[in-house]
Structure 1
Amino acid sequence: MNSLVHRSLVVQLQASGTDRFPVLAHLGYDADDPFAVTAAFSHDGRVLARWKLDREMLQEGLIRPVGMGDVRFHPVSTGPWEELCMEFYGDAHPDGGRHHAAVYVWAPAVSGFLKETYQVVAPGEEAVDVDHFLAEVIAGG
């Protein structure tokens, strides 16, 4: 079985004080990093941002608000249209505020992607090779 899952989606990006505009989101999952989903957001061939997201938190965000730090998820329902709102917070502004962007994605697409990842590594069966991880940390300096 393939240990990689990838999905590209058109999502809506809304940066501080702007209207939504479409960008591509490339979601990736690798069984070698079983707790994480990589999300790369791009527009006109340029990567705008890349984040490592917690897979379990992503799943919970489809149902209820989760997150307290730089990454937060919550469901958004506008009639028949179900979305996941992913909020990302960056560096502080001089006025004390923070850079902020929200990405809106069709919730069934995220759910389908996560189901594919669960076929690779089921929830609760994630494992990390601690010896390999420590060897990489020590080798890195």
Structure 2
Amino acid sequence: MKPSVHKTLVMQLRTGATDRFPVLARLNYDARDPYAVTVVFSHDGRVLARWRLDREMLRTGLRRPVGAGDVRFRPVSAGRWEELRMEFFGDARPDGGCRHAVVFARASAVESFLSRTHDMVAPGRERPYVDDFLAEVFAES
């Protein structure tokens, strides 16, 4: 059995300075990889991007700005509710810039998902499944 937690959310992808459009985001936590959360963004049945995020960084981003480099999170107020702003920097573009996306999620929905992951593996109690990893490595040989 593979212990995992999944949640599908509607998030908002920012386009331009202020425009947003909805995208589906499937969050997945697998206790065999206890430090990570995988998120797959899709729209109209097409996968737009897949990111593997640090679970602790995601939790911290709900409270204060965190991250440098490719992934950054920070809380923002959206009037009636709080949001998590997620900023992703990707591969270089032909014009010399880099691909960049900003996605907003309801903070309460992300917090709910993280709470379920913490029920499975409490923060500070993570341990990698080394035996499973080694079995996969030797199986590929």
Q: TM-score, normalised by structure 1?
A: 0.89
Contact 1:16–1:101 under 8 Å retained in 2:
no
Match of 1:128 in 2: 128
Gaps (5+ residues) in structure 1?
Answer: none
After TM superposition, the structure 1 = structure 2 runs for residues 41-52 of structure 1, keeping only pairs within 5 Å, are 41-52=41-52
Cα distance in 1 for partners of 2:37, 2:52 equals: 6
> Which letter maps to 2:26?
H
Match of 1:71 in 2: 71
Q: Structure 1 vs Structure 2: percent identity of aligned residues?
A: 65
> Which letter maps to 2:28?
G
After TM superposition, the structure 1 = structure 2 runs for residues 1-141 of structure 1, keeping only pairs within 5 Å, are 3-15=3-15, 19-137=19-137, 140=140
Which secondary structure does the structure 1 equivalent of 2:100 belong to? Answer: strand
Return closer, same or farther for 1:15/1:101 CA change in 2, 3 Å cut-off.
Answer: farther
Contact 1:16–1:100 under 8 Å retained in 2:
no
> Which letter maps to 2:105?
V
Q: TM-score, normalised by structure 2?
A: 0.89
Greater CA drift, 77-86 or 42-51: 77-86
What CA deviation, in whole Å up to 9, does each residue of 1:75-121 have, x standing for no partner? 11133320001111012234432110011000000001000000000
Cα distance in 2 for partners of 1:90, 1:60 equals: 22
Q: Offset of 1:7 from its aligned partner?
A: 0.8
How many residues matched? 141
Which secondary structure does the structure 2 equivalent of 1:33 belong to? Answer: coil
Greater CA drift, 3-12 or 90-99: 90-99
Greater CA drift, 103-112 or 71-80: 71-80
Cα distance in 1 for partners of 2:64, 2:18 equals: 25
Q: Offset of 1:19 from its aligned partner?
A: 1.9
Contact 1:23–1:41 under 8 Å retained in 2:
yes
Return closer, same or farther for 1:94/1:43 CA change in 2, 3 Å cut-off.
Answer: closer
Q: Offset of 1:16 from its aligned partner?
A: 5.6
Contact 2:33–2:129 under 8 Å retained in 1:
no
Contact 2:32–2:129 under 8 Å retained in 1:
no
Q: Offset of 1:131 from its aligned partner?
A: 4.5
What CA deviation, in whole Å up to 9, does each residue of 1:19-53 have, x standing for no partner? 21001111111111111111011111111111111
